[in-house]
Structure 1
Amino acid sequence: MTKWIELREKIRKIYGKHNRLILAVVKFILALFLFLLINHYVGYMEKLHHVYIAVALALICAMLPVNMTVLLAAVFTVVHLYALSMEVAVTALLIFLLMFFLYFRFSPKNGYEVVLMPITFVCRIPYAVPVANGLIGEPSSMISVIFGTILYYFLNGIHNNASLLKGVQGGESADNKFVVSLNQVLANKEMYLVILAFCLAVIVVYNIRRRAVEYAWSIAIGAGILTEFIVLCVGYLVLGISGRILWLVFGSILSTGIGFLIEFLCFNLDYSRTEKVQFEDDEYYYYVKAVPKVNLSSKEKQIKKISGKKNVKRSGERITKKQLAKELDIQEDMLD
């Protein structure tokens, strides 16, 4: 365990020294994955459907705030959808404008969650993001989780119905395309089920991890994952959606591991050294429960090896006090 704690402290020190560079690299990787994901699901404009375009946009996002990644991803998506259908692009633009209004109004500091949600859906571990938000965020972060979930299901729905949208002909084609594209959000019962599970998980994790009980974060992680699992399992059975349970089990296990990793990096406490303190002032008595963090005071110890040969008086030579102090690496007045 000591080695893991030492590794954690080293990671913290490295991040403290190079946090700007690390954040830039993280933003680049996330943006690159997001743009490649958009190219995969709705890459209908051939001029933009290239890896080097995604890399160039990701490099730009690495130097900008994370919210710019969200904005560029929305613009990138709308431009791609315009190549598929103007009606679909307009529908996407309206949805994005509505979500951006809610996002920047209530949760403007949670841009990473918006970017992470579509990526984690593809990796089959979206359950980790709501748990992480509940651990280190606020309840308002649910807005970013909802936004990211809607973005994924909208892109996936357009991808699955691309042939239908292309094949709509006749005088009512525009209305039909609007209806089909809007239904990817408004009529997607699975999306609403997932949003419900994620919002409940954020609330459960946030409220439990703030309790003054031992192992609150561990209990919160387990309760959050269990909440998502139960709600989604019951919802899939009610809606008659098959083929999700296996991936749900797999994703829940991985998400639990991610949750405990976050706890280890951010909130590792030593409950065996818990102390209860009581004191008072003129108006109140105070009962305080103090739980120390697990930290190692790693001081670098320098061992100086003094060779006897160097300090032995050579024939015909005398070692002065100044030379001896220099050899021993101490102040000269200490030899008085």
Structure 2
Amino acid sequence: MDIFLGFVIFSIICSLAFVRVDRKHAVILIVTAVMFYLKLEYLLPVLLGMIVGFGAILPAAAGVVVYFLSVYMTDVSTLLTTSSSSSFGMGLQRIVNLMLIDKKLLVFLITFSLIIFITTLLCHLFYERAWLFAIFIGHIAMILLLLFGRLIFELDYKIWRLFLEMILGIGCCYIYRFFRGIGDVSRIEKASFEDDEYFYYVKAVPKIKVTQKDRNVTDIKSGENEDDILFDDITEETDLFDGNREEAEKE
């Protein structure tokens, strides 16, 4: 009963903090938790940084907490079911203790927050191909943080899955950029202006447009006809000139 009550309280807090502000935050929270269940959580941080930005940090962290909270609830419920002595509040206390001592939760919270922050920062650089640097630097930084956490705290996540999902994540980021429409960076234009309070830096990237090449079609038959007509005209002029010359000689 106390575990269910704690989960309800946490759900209300998340609803007030994210759903009331922006429904997009609720989607991020749910998607993050679902991706953890599907064992595809490493695909998220860089994508969230590219798609959503800084606003994805808190809902993504809440989604991580929701997933770990559900795992703790399952373990504690099983433990309390087999235990002979259990009092009200014991399950909730165990869950809180697990959250405080679980280093894996801490590593994922720090990693997700930092990677979303770094990716968003790189994507907003005043540079033509900033998104490309954001994809690779974001994934490399994520691997380094997770490997560092695994080494320091002796965590149990698998390295091969980390590298595999990194490759898949890079592919997903490229697909997102493709469907979003990459601008023609060869025709990029930059402008800067200011007012009394701010400096403004504008980067205009035109969309790529496929232009059809001009085709020069030569009609061979019409060309032949024109040559024949031209030849006939020359022949007629020659005959006329010869006739005039003969008449002049007779005179």
TM-score (norm 2): 0.72
Q: Is the 8 A contact 1:127 1:252 kept in 2?
A: yes
Q: Which whole-Å deviations, capped at 9, do the CAs of 1:258-296 have from their partners, x for residues lacking one?
A: 1111111114122233456799xxxxxx99654322244
The alpha-carbon distance between structure 1 residues 181 and 293, as it changes in their structure 2 partners (threshold 3 A), is same
Q: Is the 8 A contact 2:76 2:91 kept in 1?
A: no
Q: Which whole-Å deviations, capped at 9, do the CAs of 1:275-331 have from their partners, x for residues lacking one?
A: 56799xxxxxx9965432224479xxxxxxxxxxxxxxxxxxxxxxxxxxxxxxxxx
Counterpart pick for 2:42 among 92, 106, 127: 127
- Return the offset for 1:161: 4.1
Q: Is the 8 A contact 1:153 1:184 kept in 2?
A: no
The alpha-carbon distance between structure 1 residues 194 and 243, as it changes in their structure 2 partners (threshold 3 A), is closer
From the CA coordinates, give the structure whose radius of gyration is larger: 2
Q: Is the 8 A contact 1:222 1:256 kept in 2?
A: yes
Higher relative contact order (CA 8 A, sep 6+): 2
Matches for 1:317-328 after TM superposition, within 5 Å: none
Aligned partner of 2:180: which letter? Answer: C
Q: Which whole-Å deviations, capped at 9, do the CAs of 1:139-165 have from their partners, x for residues lacking one?
A: 122121011111111112223444212
Counterpart pick for 1:164 among 69, 79, 85: 79
* Number of residue-to-residue matches in the alignment: 207
Consecutive unaligned residues of structure 1, counting only runs of 5 or more, are 1-85, 280-285, 299-336
- Return the offset for 1:90: 1.3
TM-score (norm 1): 0.55
The root-mean-square deviation of aligned C-alpha atoms, in Å, is 2.8
Find the counterpart in structure 1 of residue 155 from structure 2. 241
The alpha-carbon distance between structure 1 residues 122 and 250, as it changes in their structure 2 partners (threshold 3 A), is farther
Counterpart pick for 2:30 among 98, 103, 115: 115
The alpha-carbon distance between structure 1 residues 289 and 108, as it changes in their structure 2 partners (threshold 3 A), is closer
The alpha-carbon distance between structure 1 residues 287 and 190, as it changes in their structure 2 partners (threshold 3 A), is closer
Find the counterpart in structure 1 of residue 228 from structure 2. none
Matches for 1:71-82 after TM superposition, within 5 Å: none
Distance 2:73 2:192 in 1: 61
Consecutive unaligned residues of structure 2, counting only runs of 5 or more, are 194-199, 213-251
1:150 aligns with 2:57: no
1:201 aligns with 2:201: no
Counterpart pick for 2:13 among 98, 101, 104: 98
Q: Which whole-Å deviations, capped at 9, do the CAs of 1:55-108 have from their partners, x for residues lacking one?
A: xxxxxxxxxxxxxxxxxxxxxxxxxxxxxxx12111212222233333246654
Counterpart pick for 1:136 among 28, 51, 61: 51
Q: Is the 8 A contact 1:117 1:148 kept in 2?
A: yes
